[in-house]
Chains A and B, each alone.
Chain A
Amino acid sequence: MDRHHVVAAVEAALGEVLERPVTGLTEDVRLFEDLHLDSTSVLEMLMALEDAIDISVDPESLDMDDFKSVGTLTDYVLTQQAPSGV
Chain B
Amino acid sequence: MSGISRAPRSAEGLSSTKDLKEALTGDRAARFVWLCNFEVEHRWARAYTGIPAVRGSATAATVQRMEELGALLAEPGDHLLLDRPLDAHYRRYAERTGLGAPTELVTRAPAAEGGTAAAVLDSPELLDRLRALARDGAFLMPMGASDRERRITELTGLRSAVPDAAVYERVNSKIYSRRTAAELGLRTIPGFCCETAGQLRHALEEGLREGDPVIVKDAYGVSGRGLVVLDSRKKADQLLRMVDRRARKTGDDALHVVVEAFLPKRFDLNYQFTVDRHGGVRLDFVKEALTAGGVHLGHVMPADLTAAQRDELAEAAERLGKRLFADGFFGIVGVDALLGADDLVYPVLEINARLNMSSYQGRVTELFGRSDGAALAKHYPLRLSAPVGFPALAEALGPLAEPPRDRDGLVVTCFGTVNAQATAADDAPAPFDGRLYAVLFAADRAGLAALDRRVTTALSRFDTTERTP
Which residue of A39, A58, A67 is within 8 Å of B225 (Cβ)?
Answer: A39
Q: How many residues of B contact A (CB 8 A)?
A: 30
Given the known inter-chain contacts A38-B293, A43-B228, A44-B228, please indicate yes or no for A59 contacting B430, CB distance below 8 A. no
In chain A, positions 26-51 with a C-beta closer than 8 Å to chain B are 30, 32-34, 36, 38-40, 42-44, 46-47, 50-51
List B contacts of A36 (CB < 8 A).
465
Interface size band for A: 20 to 34
Cβ contact within 8 Å between A62 and B432: no
Contacting A at CB under 8 A, from B429-453, are 430-433
- Within the assembled complex, what's the spacing in Å between the Cα atoms of A67 and B58? 9
* B245-A63 in contact (CB<8A): no
Which A residues lie within 8 Å of B242 (CB)?
Answer: 47, 57-59
Closest Cβ of chain B: how far from A20's Cβ, in Å?
15
The A interface, classified by DSSP as helix, strand, loop or mixed, is: helix
Contact string against A for B residues 296-333, beta-carbon threshold 8 Å, 1 for contact and 0 otherwise: 00000000000000000000000000000000000000
| A-to-B contact residues, CB < 8 Å | 30, 32-34, 36, 38-40, 42-44, 46-47, 50-51, 56-60, 62-67
Decide yes or no whether B399 CB sits under 8 A from chain A.
no
Interface core residue of B54, B241, B431 (most chain A CB under 10 Å):
B54
Q: Of B52, B57, B293, which contacts A59 at CB under 8 A? A: B52
Closest to A66 in B: B54
Please tell me if B84 contacts chain A, counting CB pairs below 8 Å: no
Contact B245–A58 (Cβ < 8 Å): yes
Residues of A within 8 A of B238 (CB): 47, 50-51
Given contacts A40-B224, A40-B225, A47-B235, contact A63 B293 (CB under 8 A): no
- Asked if residues A63 and B56 are in contact (CB atoms below 8 Å), the reply is yes
- Are B245 and A56 in touch, CB under 8 angstroms? yes
* Neighbouring B residues of A38 by C-beta, 8 Å: 224, 293, 295
* Alpha-carbon distance A77/B235, docked complex (angstroms): 20
A59 to B52, CA, bound (A): 6
Residue contact A60 to B224, C-beta cutoff 8 Å: no
Residues A33 and B52 in contact in the complex (CB < 8 Å), given A47-B238, A58-B245, A64-B58: no
**New A-B contacts (7) at CB < 8 Å, excluding given A32-B433, A38-B295:** A39-B224, A40-B227, A40-B294, A43-B53, A43-B239, A44-B229, A65-B56
Closest-CB distance, B299 to chain A (whole angstroms): 20
> Taking A33-B430, A39-B224 as contacts, is the C-beta distance between A60 and B53 under 8 angstroms?
yes
Nearest-Cβ distance from residue A69 to partner chain B, whole angstroms: 10
How far, in whole Å, are A46 and B246 apart by their CA atoms in the complex?
15
Whether A33 touches B431, Cβ cut-off 8 Å, given contacts A44-B228, A60-B52, A62-B55, is: yes
CA–CA, A40 to B177, complex, Å? 21
User: Which A residues are in CB contact (< 8 Å) with B465?
Assistant: 36
Q: Supply 22 A–B pairs (Cβ within 8 Å), ascending by A.
A: A30-B430, A32-B58, A33-B430, A34-B431, A36-B465, A38-B293, A38-B295, A39-B58, A40-B225, A40-B293, A40-B295, A42-B54, A43-B53, A44-B235, A47-B235, A47-B239, A56-B245, A58-B52, A62-B55, A64-B54, A64-B55, A66-B54
